[in-house]
Structure 1
Amino acid sequence: MMDLMLIAEAPKEKPCCTLPTVKKLLEEKRRRETSSVPPPCSTAGTNPVPPNTVTQLSLSEPFTCTGASSSYTDMAVSYEQWNPTPEPTLNYFTNHPGPSHATGYSLPMQSEYSPQQQVPEFGDTMFPTFMCPMTVPDPNMASSWSLTQPSFTSSIDTTKLAEARMLLSRMDHNRAAGQDEDGDTILHIYTAKGYRECAFAAAERLKEIGKLDAKEHKGKTALLVAVTANQTEIVQDLLLLGADINACDLKGQTSLHLASHYGFPTVLQVILSCKPGVNLEARNFEGMTPLHCAAISHSVTMKALSASGLLDVSLQTKATQKLSCVQMLLNGGASLHSQEIKSNKTVLHLAVKEGNIELVRYLLNIPLPHMKEFVNMKAHGHTALHMAAGLHGNPHQEEILRLLLNKGADPSIRNLENDQPAHLLQSGPQGDQLKLMLKKRNASSRRRNVSLQDQE
């Protein structure tokens, strides 16, 4: 009754044009940031964030790229964010063999929306207890994620939902259903804040007028904002209400691309549970599938973890979550043979090129009926073995070469420059040792081929 009295006494709604936009809110949040290192956080608070405070987004994960002596970068996709701090750049052909005309790209490892962000001056007095606690995945989950109907989300609070519906009914139409100069609807705002019941009521209102999938200035629907903000429950609510699961933003990124890139397993599980509606092989405007994005993102985290001396627990957890995203996509039906469009790399090429031993081990342990053909697939003339030969100075180079050879990698294959993998090895004692290993395997392969021909 008290809540109803408060609502009845609420001041008259301000015109829609006075509402701060998502862009402005996040810019104000950014200005308030005074520290470059956020405190570790495992879950969103169940209590409302104190007024005029801002919870920082997680830092980007720095890393350095090691490899062969040639220096140039490969293509990829750029994920923009609000933080103006320059992000580290993952150069896919930096210090590796490949086409010299490739271009570089940056891959920031933090979301532009924080699941705990406080948006000042907008609705701070409306339902302050709506900050929805997030379910954090078990860092030891490995590949145990179920792709059936998710059971990790809590039931929506019907009392708060009723209050939210009443609030929406009292708003003028422009504020409740319109878009501001940046294309934000009130649903975008509530979603970015993590106000589940308010977001649900706003989604119902927008669905009635056919604007549930309205896009803001970066082309993001409310669903894409919810995914980027790691708001698992709101993602599920929007999908249940009929949000377009394959909608993409101005970069062609679908909900699968974003969840895979940021490494959000619980969000990814919700999306994958909507099969067969979800397009596992959707391409963003850089020609990458969600599986490619997941592999790239995992490599970035593994490089950051290696640079930290393997002592960073948060990075270890994030690496585990991102590997789980790779596993979930493959278990859900994503194609291991998919090649990104610009340079024809498979997920194996991407893992080998970055010296990502953990991902290489996982991929090569997948039982494939034609593993040899998969291992010897070419990306602009380079096999994975060529790329491994270019990992000069990488501590996992020898192990990656052995793993590939044991799965049928052919050291006699030549690239477009007529080089075999042995020709791309570093000079010096280590390179000579690896070259001898490749030559022995090459000679052994020729003997087997001759033996098979004699038998025929």
Structure 2
Amino acid sequence: SIASPWPLLGPGQSTQLIFGPSMDAAKLEEARMLLNGMDYSSQDEDGDTILHIYTAKGLRECAFAAAEKLRDLGRLDAKEHKGKTALLVAVTANQPEIVQDLLSLGADINACDVKGQTALHLAAHYGFPGVLQAILSGRPNVNLEARNFEGMTPLHCAAISHSVTTKALSATGLTDVHLQAKANEKLSCVQMLLNAGASLLSQEIKSNKTLLHLAVKEGNIDLVRYLLRIPLPNVKDFVNMKAHGHTALHMAAGLHGNPYQEEILQLLLSRGADPSIRNLENDQPAHLLQSGHQGEQVRLAARCTPPRGLSCVGKTQCIIYPATRIPAK
């Protein structure tokens, strides 16, 4: 099962149940008094305010007190040298409680750094479900489709990051418990963004890839399985979307040597992938399959054999000869 261990909050649920105990009132008062005698409005050579520093260190009560002061000065969203507000620092430091506090004090939920990355982009990239939940919970003004300067939404970032971790996990022989846990967290981030309303049809700007293209291109079988289980009224349109001419089936045909190529081809075909579609080079997916013995094995896995007299013994749609196939009896 790929059920998320980080379900979204329902209406009326308290974030306190998820983000741990409330702040220590005595520590908060102590922090407020301490700040009264400090220059809390200045920024150091890196552009950090004292709020950035407290946030990075995870000092919740001190960060809250500093945030109150800077909010009153209209500087709650002051940026350091990489363009990060204290909220973005809290996200990167995996501090969901501080993220929650800063948002409650009015921090800009859609602020971005010098790379155009919002809090959602960063939480998705690093795979922090707790932080992502803090951002999404009861925040209707969060921009789920915000683009970073690479043209990617938070959902694209989550998918790419998940693929990186699954590749690392595969390289270790699937025995690294830490990496497995991280992969699960990153997949949870994909699920949470989709549950919150992020668009599955969103295409990244540079290459026009959807989430499915990104997953297939990397041979990310876990993500492909998950995406193709999502019930969609227009699933064939989704599966056959093009990224600069290539459908996901074209990309799967090009996964030479990937251990999951056969399964990905079968999954795509079973969800309505059209093997007759041609890319910008006029190639159908069949033309991109590997040659030789390995290619024959893939052809068999796709339940297709080269026809003689235009006959076919396949049990599903044929990837190799879509235009001339005759369905099996």
Q: Which residue is equivalent to 2:187?
A: 323
2:129 to 258, 261, 265: 265
1:160 equivalent to 2:30? Answer no
User: For residues 169 and 425 of structure 1, what CA distance do their matches in structure 2 show?
Assistant: 69
Give the alignment's Cα RMSD to 1 decimal.
Answer: 1.9
Aligned residues: 308
Q: Which residue is equivalent to 2:269?
A: 405
1:323-379 CA distances to partner (integer Å, 9 max, x unpaired)?
A: 000000000000000000000000000000000000000000000001001000000
Q: Which residue is equivalent to 1:169?
A: 36
2:49 to 173, 185, 194: 185
* Cα distance change, pair 448–196 in 1 and its aligned pair in 2 (3 A): farther
Task: Spell out the pairing of 1:31-180 with structure 2 (5 A cutoff).
Answer: 142=4, 145-148=7-10, 149-150=14-15, 151-153=17-19, 154-171=21-38, 175-180=39-44
Q: What letter corresponds to residue 146 of structure 1 in structure 2? A: L
User: For residues 250 and 220 of structure 2, what CA distance do their matches in structure 1 show?
Assistant: 15
User: For residues 216 and 356 of structure 1, what CA distance do their matches in structure 2 show?
Assistant: 36
User: For residues 188 and 121 of structure 2, what CA distance do their matches in structure 1 show?
Assistant: 14
Deviation at 1:141, TM superposition (A): 5.9
User: For residues 136 and 8 of structure 2, what CA distance do their matches in structure 1 show?
Assistant: 10
For structure 1, which runs of at least 5 residues remain unmatched after alignment?
A: 1-138, 450-456
User: For residues 335 and 275 of structure 1, what CA distance do their matches in structure 2 show?
Assistant: 17
Calculate the TM-score normalised by the size of structure 1. Answer: 0.65
More deviation, 176-185/324-333: 176-185
Q: Which residue is equivalent to 2:71?
A: 207
Q: What letter corresponds to residue 219 of structure 1 in structure 2? A: G
1:305 and 1:316 in contact (8 A); partners too: yes
SS in structure 2 of the partner of residue 176 of structure 1: coil
Paired-residue identity, %: 75
Higher relative contact order (CA 8 A, sep 6+): 1
For structure 2, which runs of at least 5 residues remain unmatched after alignment?
A: 307-313
User: For residues 41 and 3 of structure 2, what CA distance do their matches in structure 1 show?
Assistant: 41
1:6-25 CA distances to partner (integer Å, 9 max, x unpaired)?
A: xxxxxxxxxxxxxxxxxxxx
Q: Which residue is equivalent to 1:39?
A: none
1:389 and 1:425 in contact (8 A); partners too: yes
User: For residues 182 and 353 of structure 1, what CA distance do their matches in structure 2 show?
Assistant: 39
1:143 and 1:328 in contact (8 A); partners too: no
1:143 and 1:327 in contact (8 A); partners too: no
Q: What letter corresponds to residue 147 of structure 1 in structure 2? A: L
User: For residues 434 and 407 of structure 1, what CA distance do their matches in structure 2 show?
Assistant: 18
1:342 equivalent to 2:206? Answer yes
1:287 to 151, 169, 185: 151
Deviation at 1:274, TM superposition (A): 3.4
Q: Which residue is equivalent to 2:88?
A: 224
1:147 and 1:332 in contact (8 A); partners too: no
1:375 and 1:384 in contact (8 A); partners too: yes
* Cα distance change, pair 422–140 in 1 and its aligned pair in 2 (3 A): closer
Q: Which residue is equivalent to 2:248?
A: 384
User: For residues 2 and 224 of structure 2, what CA distance do their matches in structure 1 show?
Assistant: 19
Deviation at 1:425, TM superposition (A): 0.7
SS in structure 2 of the partner of residue 282 of structure 1: coil
* Cα distance change, pair 371–140 in 1 and its aligned pair in 2 (3 A): closer
Deviation at 1:314, TM superposition (A): 0.4
1:142-167 CA distances to partner (integer Å, 9 max, x unpaired)?
A: 26512335321220111000000000
Calculate the TM-score normalised by the size of structure 2. Answer: 0.90
2:221 to 341, 346, 357: 357
User: For residues 202 and 139 of structure 2, what CA distance do their matches in structure 1 show?
Assistant: 19
Q: Which residue is equivalent to 2:293?
A: 429
1:348 and 1:360 in contact (8 A); partners too: yes
